[in-house]
Amino acid sequence: MSTLNHQTVFLDSPKVAVALPFVDDLRQYHPEGTFPLAEDPISSGRTAIIGMFVLRPATVPLVTESTLSVEETSAELFREDLDWVYNVHGADGGGLIANGAVCDAYRLAMQYHLSDAVLIGSNCVAVDGVAGYLWQGYSVCEWGHVKAADPNLFSKFAENRELWQRMGYLSARKYPATIVVTRTGELYPQGDYFLKGRIFDETQRHPTGEAFEVYIITSRGGALNVRANAAKFGITADRLERMLIVIPGEESEDPFSLDISRIPSVLYQEPYNMRIVDHDGGRDLLNDFLVAGALSQLNLTFGRGTTVRDAVQTCPTFFFRDTTREAVLADFSQRIRYFFRSKDPSGKISHGIPRHLKVLSLIKDSEQKCLIASLTSREKKPFYEKV
């Protein structure tokens, strides 16, 4: 049995607007599987923006038994003692949180390539993008554990991309574009300026020679700041103007106001023609999109069997940036970053999944290393309350 094998164990069909098919080469890993969308972009006339992240419980593991019913599995996800973490400061990145789960990397590569664009916040670019990350499926397919599982995986994703294009659910792009969102266009205090990211390097090319397609969504004030900094990074004024997508708030508002609710409609129209866009964070930006009604669903990988503390204790040393494993473990509670946060009427704070998020689908992997859930919400409520 391949480590890439996974199976849909629950699908709330009434919540599914459209279920997109997989080609046979991918169905071998996901028998009878589909990619469910809570919003049909063709019917709604706006881009379906799908958030994604990998999470792992801080100190109490998610149960690993494969014999649980769907109802029991769903209940396990919503347990109050599960505090879901997306990052550990000093050992930053989803690689540590994924803890070697090849199915998570498979889904990451698949969702990157089966989209018209990958959207990220400028802070993510200032950290990961400057380090060279590209937010492209072919890069993920080159990771050691993914390539060992299937060295031809990317060609299968490319075949599936062509299928969705024929169906009208992806544009004619060969590779997804990259969209960077910045409200202010200012320097991220803990990193380099986002325009230093590799995706902005004009010499950067996709494997078959195409130039990168990059956009910057920002406010009126943000556009002024980006224009003031572009020349420092070798970006000409003409090229920058082709990248900028200025979406202001009301004219009477702060010049740095950005009306996120308009983004799905803007991206759907000419000249962008985007039907499906993956939103790869950060957490606060995902939260803002959900509150604005601009996020169709959250596709989250939940780590099973081991905790974040376990992952820190056993992960390779290259995960530790300017610190040590011992220092991270000694200050663990201060370094973990929770994905969810809510407060009940009594004032009790929870870092579990908020109840307003509903399960659209559940997928289990053959290795029992992760559980992949699509979550939706009809309410414009945050999953991370600033309390």
How do residues 92-151 score in pLDDT, each as one tens digit? 889 999 999 999 999 999 999 999 999 999 999 998 999 899 999 999 999 999 999 999
Q: Using the 3D structure, point to which of 208, 242, 274 is the last residue of a domain.
A: 274
Same domain (yes/no): 110, 125: no
Same domain (yes/no): 384, 316: yes
Same domain (yes/no): 157, 27: yes
- Residues of the chain with pLDDT > 70, as a percent, come to 98
**158 located within any domain:** yes
Same domain (yes/no): 127, 224: yes
Same domain (yes/no): 266, 232: yes
**34 located within any domain:** yes
> How much is the pLDDT for 252?
61
**289 located within any domain:** no
Same domain (yes/no): 112, 125: no
Same domain (yes/no): 44, 158: yes
Same domain (yes/no): 80, 141: yes
Same domain (yes/no): 146, 58: yes
Confidence of residue 191 (pLDDT cuts 50, 70, 90): confident
Question: What domain range is 305 assigned to?
Answer: 1-116+137-169+298-387
**26 located within any domain:** yes
| Domain count within the chain | 2
Same domain (yes/no): 112, 127: no
- Compute CA distances 83 → 59, 192, 194, 207, 377, whole Å: 8, 31, 31, 40, 20
> How much is the pLDDT for 285?
97
CA distance 201 to 125: 13
Kindly state the average pLDDT of the residues 303-328.
93
Same domain (yes/no): 242, 341: no
Same domain (yes/no): 242, 328: no
What is the pTM assigned to this prediction?
0.96
